[in-house]
Homo-oligomer: A and B are copies of this chain.
Amino acid sequence: MLNEMLEFVTTQQKLLFDRAHPLRLESGAALGHVTVSYETYGELNADGTNVILICHALTANAHASGYNSEEDKTPGWWDGLIGSGKAFDTDDYFVVCPNILGSCYGTTGPTSINPTTGQPYRLSFPAITVRDIVTVQKRLLDELGVNRLATVCGSSLGGMQALEWGIMFPDFCETTIPISTAARQPSWCLALNSAARTAIKNDPEWREGNYLAQPAKGLALARMIGMISYRSPEEFEQRFGQQKVDPSGNVFVVDNVFQVESYLQYQGQKLVTRFDANTYLCLTHAMDSHDISRGRGSVKKALGSIRARALCVGISSDVRYPVAHQTRLAQDIPNGEYIEVSSIHGHDAFLIEFDQLNSIIANFLRKDNS
């Protein structure tokens, strides 16, 4: 029933940088060929100002809303928020979701062919930062005829982009909506990412990045480690507790695994079928280098330079980017406000709590129009 209401949408691609006009990265390196994969929903107005930019998190892609083909009616990852009558209302706005630089869903990244060698970049793909991701997004918007953003919104790594947008292009953004994120990558998140990368690199199939088939066990374990912090202890307790997969079986038999183990293993295996291991390394490094104060004096100074009205959204049970990070952002952004989503689902609540998010975001954007 829900799927019947989905809009058909084609994922598009654009070549944004080439050898003559390479992308200059924050590190100083250059990328001579950058293609971006993206989707758009709604219509751009005449002066190019009714635009919402959606920034995705670590393993997502450009497919944020609708469905891509008659065969695959999988709704986009933020279909609950994007569409007619929803928070990101396609009746009024032109919504753009690009796959980020360094990803493996059609935008240039470690799986792309290096035009100089004719081989995939793999580990030779240069280190990128959140600022590089935003630079590429800005070029895409320029090409699409966008003159101003009504808002830019994302959670987690997406929220890091929303912050950088406000700092790098202060006059381009009317508002920004960073969700469950931080001014700089917290050391504890860095530790979790580090363990996840070690899981991938420990897999002999990884072969220093030159794998033929995916290092499946390592990538699955990386995802398991991630999932533990994407959800909350309270949710695990409610959903799984200490239940065994076979509750009537012998509880002392180790092979009768716990439901939570089985859940994590399933999540791990699912990621292996849809995400690339070197890309996981590349994008977690981009997250770990996230620091809005780099070259800008201090976090306070960087946040103080944001002119956009900002809605900083926290999730009550987020252990990865706790609400304290969000309230601090709201305090230090001149026109910032904080609002909390009450949820048991932890960091991942941004993919689940659509009722609350729709109401919070729609209300915030209405204020902007009034």
Contact = CB atoms under 8 A, between A and B. Distances in A.
Contacts of A188: 228, 232-233, 236-237
Contacts of A46: none
Interface string A332-344: 0000000000000
Interface stretch (A62-70, A135-143, A189-197): A189-197
Given A202-B199, A241-B187, A289-B252, A261 B194 contact: yes
A26 B233 contact: no
B190 A242 contact: yes
Nearest to A322: B233
A204 interface: yes
A241 to B, nearest CB: 5
Given A191-B261, A199-B202, A26 B252 contact: yes
Contact of A252 (B129, B187, B199, B265): B129
B187 A202 contact: no
Contacts of A227: 191
B242 A217 contact: no
Nearest to A268: B198
Contacts of A289: 242, 251-252
A233 B187 contact: yes
Contacts of A257: 194
Interface string A243-268: 00000001111100110110011000
A330 interface: no
Given A285-B254, A289-B251, A194 B241 contact: no
Interface in A198-248: 198-199, 202-204, 217-218, 221, 224-225, 227-228, 232-233, 236-237, 239-242
Contacts of A250: 27
A224 to B, nearest CB: 5
Nearest to A228: B191
Given A127-B253, A252-B26, A254-B285, A225 B190 contact: no
B186 A198 contact: no
Contacts of A240: 187, 190
13 contacts: A185-B242, A186-B233, A187-B237, A190-B236, A190-B242, A190-B258, A191-B236, A191-B261, A194-B260, A198-B224, A199-B221, A202-B217, A202-B218
Given A185-B242, A194-B261, 18 more contacts: A27-B252, A184-B242, A188-B232, A188-B236, A190-B236, A190-B258, A190-B260, A190-B261, A191-B224, A191-B260, A192-B228, A194-B258, A198-B224, A198-B265, A199-B199, A202-B203, A233-B322, A251-B294
Q: 8 closest Cβ contacts across the A-B interface?
A: A188-B233, A27-B252, A187-B236, A194-B261, A127-B252, A202-B217, A188-B236, A195-B224
